[in-house]
Amino acid sequence: MSEKKKKESVLAGFKAFLMRGNVVDLAVAVVIGAAFTNIVNSMVKGIIGPVVGAIGTKSLDGYTSCLKGPCSVDAQGNPVGVNILWGSVLNATLTFVITAAVVYFLMVLPMAKYLARQEARRKAREGVQELVEVTELEVLKEIRDNLVAQRAGSVDSAPQPRTGGSTL
């Protein structure tokens, strides 16, 4: 195989990979997710963080426990001893929970309600179409029964509309 054909097949394969729907959708999702991250972060920092800070402390990062003493900071600013920085872990956990709550209540829940309404509308439209089809079927059955009655010579007494099923 020549170098040119090999290069073309690799480029064609790469193009096919990129043009697949799921790759393009994933790329769009990453870009939108990055933009949405800025919105969520600013909401957490600007609104929810100050509310939590008003209730408790503004920064949990300073909370530590000394595992092996003496726990302190020397003259150069290096920690001495073994500190467990549980405040940082708690801060990260709270930030995650708050961010997840913001995403759920501002994005997931409204979207689920919207999709449920769309599905209900779609089912209602299908129900109306089925009702129309059933009504048309009943009319056709009545027409058939009238034609059968006319052929039999009993035009005087018109048959009553039937409500049950029949064979065609």
Burial (CB count within 10 angstroms: exposed 0-12, middle 13-18, buried 19+), residue 83: middle
Instruction: State the pTM of this model.
Output: 0.46
**Cis amide bond preceding 161, omega within 30:** no
pLDDT of residue 117: 94
Segment 98-132, tens digit of pLDDT = 778 877 888 889 989 999 999 999 888 887 766 66
H-run or E-run covering 136: helix 109-151
In order, the DSSP letters of 26-92 are HHHHHHHHHHHHHHHHHHIIIIIHHHHHHHS-S--TT--EEEEEEEEE-TTS-EEEEEE-HHHHHHH
Segment 26-83, tens digit of pLDDT = 888 888 888 877 887 787 777 766 776 777 766 677 777 887 778 777 788 777 778 8
pLDDT of residue 77: 75
